[in-house]
């Protein structure tokens, strides 16, 4: 019997790709240093990768939902080009003042992903560059990793279990901890 795989919940901007503020052009997508290699290692380690991202630019009228979908399709293509598959991309298009249940640090998008993909959120790892990502992980009971180049790293590690430089270092830490796909709490459907 194969060991269950861990689900890695990734923030998008500032974690996987360069943060351009309100990204509105798919052609501006570019991996952060270490991101492509980190995604490849996480994939080889047997993890399922999902992106959970706040995209209030839609709610603020800076880009349309259709444009966000074009950006997500381009990101999927970029990730496939390096030999990796994303299990899904989940985005909250709402403004912060709307107080929706899907905007991080609320858990709505992760619970939606868990229902669709068949995993237990508390067995996952949340990797992001902001306090809201770390708070999301705390609310889920997940392991958290804060990308040190992000806005949250200027202060305390925001309750992160690990402070990392980039996704490549995240993959190395995960590998060194021996948690690659061996946590029964995060069993996923085949």
11 is known as an active-site residue:
yes
The C-alpha atoms of residue 79 and residue 85 are separated, in whole angstroms, by 6
How far separated are the first and last CA of the chain, in Å rounded? 12
Q: Which of 11, 129, 133, 183 is catalytic?
A: 11
Q: Of 9, 12, 39, 7, nearest to 118 (Cα)? A: 7
Residue 166 φ then ψ, to 5°: -165, 180
Long-range Cβ pairs for the range 66-74 (8 Å, 24+)? 67/24, 68/93, 70/26, 71/23, 71/24, 71/25, 71/26, 71/29, 73/26, 74/26, 74/27, 74/29
Kindly calculate the radius of gyration of the chain based on its CA atoms and give it in whole angstroms.
15
Question: What letter would DSSP give residue 190?
Answer: -
The C-alpha atoms of residue 80 and residue 86 are separated, in whole angstroms, by 8
Q: Which of 13, 19, 129, 133 is catalytic?
A: 13
25 is known as an active-site residue:
no
**Catalytic amino acids?**
11, 13
């Amino acid at each position: 019997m194969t060991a269950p795989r861990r689900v890695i919940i990734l923030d998008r901007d500032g974690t996987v790709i360069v943060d351009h503020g309100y990204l509105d052009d798919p052609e501006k997508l570019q991996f952060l240093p270490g991101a492509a290699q980190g995604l490849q290692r996480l994939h080889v380690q047997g993890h399922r990768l999902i992106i959970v991202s706040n995209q209030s630019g839609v709610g603020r009228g800076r880009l349309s939902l259709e444009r966000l979908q074009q950006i997500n399709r381009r990101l999927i293509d970029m990730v496939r080009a390096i030999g990796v598959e994303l299990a899904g991309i989940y985005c909250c298009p709402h403004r912060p003042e709307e107080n929706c249940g899907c905007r991080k640090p609320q858990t709505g998008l992760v619970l939606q992903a868990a229902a669709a993909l068949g995993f237990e959120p508390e067995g996952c790892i949340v990797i992001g560059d902001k306090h809201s990502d770390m708070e999301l992980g705390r609310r889920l009971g997940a392991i958290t990793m804060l990308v040190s180049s992000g806005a949250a790293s200027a202060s305390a590690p925001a309750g992160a279990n690990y402070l990392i430089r980039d996704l490549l270092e995240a993959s190395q830490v995960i590998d060194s901890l021996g948690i690659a796909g061996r946590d029964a709490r995060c069993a996923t459907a085949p």
